Structure 1
Amino acid sequence: MTGSLRQGMGVSCLMDIAVENVPGVKAIPLVPSQRSYCYSSLGIRENFIPNEVQKQYLEILKKNQDLN
């Protein structure tokens, strides 16, 4: 998705994390009344050993999980 944005092929709604450190793609935040929220989940094997990017994603999920 970010590849087509880098090539000037339009506008897209992406989560903030999807555009971090992507050269040529700029995040423009929405005003609070126009924000859209989503849920994310991840299923993994019991013997799964995450790489560094996957570890970061798991930490984000842990920090932002809905505890209610």
Structure 2
Amino acid sequence: MTFRISQRGKEYLETAQTLLRTARTMTDSAIASQIKALADDYERRAEKASHADAAKAFARSAAS
């Protein structure tokens, strides 16, 4: 199933990408790993937000 990413999801993905770029420049591998884990969390948030926003949009259209 494909879905469009919501604006909120795009913002989460942009944050995740920024965190990953930052992690790549880190010399401390422990901190880099924590930043990568945070980026993974933001990617999950992007997916959840997009699904939730799509469901809300569908509910609004169904109510009309």
Mark yes or no: TM-score above 0.5: no
With normalisation by structure 1, the TM-score equals 0.29
Kindly indicate whether structure 1 or structure 2 has the higher relative contact order, using CA contacts under 8 Å at least 6 residues apart: 2
With normalisation by structure 2, the TM-score equals 0.30
Higher helix share: 2
